[in-house]
Structure 1
Amino acid sequence: MNYKKIYEKQYGEKRLENVPPRQFWGLRKLLKKYDWDRYTVAEQLTGRGGRILDIGCGEGYLLRRLEGKFEELYGLDVAPSRLREAEQKVKEHCPAGISKFSFVEGNADERLPFPDDYFDAITCIAVIEHVYDVFSLVKEAYRVLKPDGYVIAEVPNIAYLKYRVSFLLGKLPATSSPYNWEEIGWDGGHIHYFTMEKFCWLFESQGFKIEKRSGSGFLAPFRNWWPALLCGDLVVKAVKVLKSGTRR
């Protein structure tokens, strides 16, 4: 089964159940401003710019949230059904800015269909853990970014305190949906696992400088005191640094 079939099965057929029951609902409602999901953190780390690419854009939710910050917004996804949903939702929710959006079918494990030095920013949320060749993807992100452009990337944190306890008890933590793995793939198709140290190293090894380390979740502003231990995911902002001997 190839990439497209896997993600059409997960999303096109609506088989992915990735929203577990919310705990402490009343407390979350009371402290809503401290309950940050991964898209909120990505939006907080994103400045204004000319052109942005969201790799693994899905139905375009993050791009719609960023509409006011960028002149051109590009979304790349391997699943055609999700791209159709993205286009439809832009028509429904962003009719005045519809000309700013472009959605492209493409595989994050292949060469990105864009020229060198093209984007001011890239977002890559809940994608890298699914990609076979993570080094190739980060190299491609470096290639299509302008000098001083940046990537905001997010992955599950295998070293999260809750997961460490699971390992001590001899249990395998689920970093994706805990349900119906036979239909959606082992751990939702996650084939790589990261700690904060290794996630940062992945980008640094390909010419990026880490500008910000963070995470999301309930009480995220406080848990970000030590995201490598206290957050269920890892979010980094990595800036493209020109390699030695490279000219602008």
Structure 2
Amino acid sequence: MNYDNKPDSYYSKMRFEMLKYLPKDSLKILEIGCGNGCFGEFLKKENNREVWGIELMPEEGKEAEKVLDRVFIGKCEDFINDLPDNYFDAIYCNDVLEHLFDPYSLLKDLKSKLSNKGVVISSIPNIRYHNQFKMFLFSKDWKYQDHGIMDFTHMRFFTGKSIRRMYEEAGYLVKTHEGINKTKSLKPYFFNILFLCTQLDIFYLQYATVASKS
């Protein structure tokens, strides 16, 4: 899969909306898909946190090495055995799991890397977001794009329901699961009138999930 055509902002976007999901007492953090390390660097500014990263792209990974405590460069699946067991208080997967061929196995493997109080925190695009809902239902189309929910580098597509099920089937306890980045468009309101207010999930671009191993 070719990620070289992505804009620079793809690897340096700060996900401020994901900060609130980090437990206050989390001191050892792993960010999978850390980009150039900007998010992890921000996390390090509080409570003297230790932040590790895994990044697929070599150039961005080299930048992350300058600001994070330790960085692995390559496919995240290749470094699972290099991660210490029972170590991380939080593992972030911000818009990562949808890029993997087998995110289900990765979640299972990450459980052993969490401390007793550890959580996995993820942001995953919602395939039922209103723009895609309209494309499937009315345009009868499935068109890949350079970025966004229909990103051509996405290997998996999820709804809010299937995200929760993925975590639960991997043996996690889902503590928080909610839509984020709500649209300001009026279109979803029209769809909900049309479908008797049964499509509330189409308002949300992504779902944020926090899950513990027990």
TM-score (norm 1): 0.69
Does structure 2 conserve the Cα–Cα contact (< 8 Å) formed by 1:38 and 1:217?
Answer: no
Q: Give the distance between the partners of 1:166 and 1:219, measured in 2 at CA.
A: 16
Partner of 1:59: 36
Unaligned runs of 5+ in 1: 20-36, 91-99, 179-185, 242-248
Q: Secondary structure at the match of 1:74?
A: strand
Unaligned runs of 5+ in 2: 189-198
- Give the CA deviation at 1:77: 1.2
Q: Give the distance between the partners of 1:218 and 1:157, measured in 2 at CA.
A: 11
The yes-or-no answer on 1:84 pairing with 2:52 is no
Q: Give the distance between the partners of 1:141 and 1:205, measured in 2 at CA.
A: 14
Two-structure CA RMSD over aligned residues (Å): 2.8
The yes-or-no answer on 1:152 pairing with 2:152 is no
User: Quick one: which of 183, 201, 208 aligns to 2:172?
Assistant: 208
- Give the CA deviation at 1:188: 3.1
TM-score (norm 2): 0.79
Q: Secondary structure at the match of 2:60?
A: helix
**Structure with the higher helix share, 1 or 2:** 1
Q: Give the distance between the partners of 1:194 and 1:87, measured in 2 at CA.
A: 31
The yes-or-no answer on 1:236 pairing with 2:209 is yes
- Give the CA deviation at 1:227: 7.0
Q: Deviations over 1:26-83 (max 9, x none)?
A: xxxxxxxxxxx98122101112322000011111121122111452100111222111
The 1:189/1:228 distance shift into structure 2, 3 A limit, reads same
The 1:218/1:143 distance shift into structure 2, 3 A limit, reads same
Does structure 2 conserve the Cα–Cα contact (< 8 Å) formed by 1:158 and 1:195?
Answer: yes
2:203 is matched by which residue type in structure 1? L
Does structure 2 conserve the Cα–Cα contact (< 8 Å) formed by 1:57 and 1:76?
Answer: yes
The 1:71/1:173 distance shift into structure 2, 3 A limit, reads same
Partner of 1:101: 69
The 1:174/1:133 distance shift into structure 2, 3 A limit, reads same
The 1:232/1:133 distance shift into structure 2, 3 A limit, reads same
Partner of 2:15: 39
Q: Give the distance between the partners of 1:231 and 1:45, measured in 2 at CA.
A: 17
Q: Deviations over 1:214-237 (max 9, x none)?
A: 2332569xx9xx873211111111
The alignment of Structure 1 onto Structure 2 pairs a total of residues equal to 194
The 1:147/1:62 distance shift into structure 2, 3 A limit, reads same
Q: Give the distance between the partners of 1:134 and 1:107, measured in 2 at CA.
A: 12
Q: Give the ranges of 4+ consecutive aligned residues of structure 1 lying more than 4 Å apart after TM superposition.
A: 173-176
Greater RCO (Cα-Cα under 8 Å, separation 6 or more): 1
- Give the CA deviation at 1:132: 1.1
The 1:233/1:77 distance shift into structure 2, 3 A limit, reads same
Within 5 Å, give how 1:1-248 maps onto structure 2.
6-7=2-3, 10=4, 15-17=5-7, 39-48=15-24, 49-67=26-44, 68-69=46-47, 71-88=49-66, 90=67, 101-112=69-80, 113-168=82-137, 169-172=139-142, 174=144, 177=147, 187-217=151-181, 228-241=201-214
1:53 is matched by which residue type in structure 2? L
Does structure 2 conserve the Cα–Cα contact (< 8 Å) formed by 1:52 and 1:74?
Answer: yes
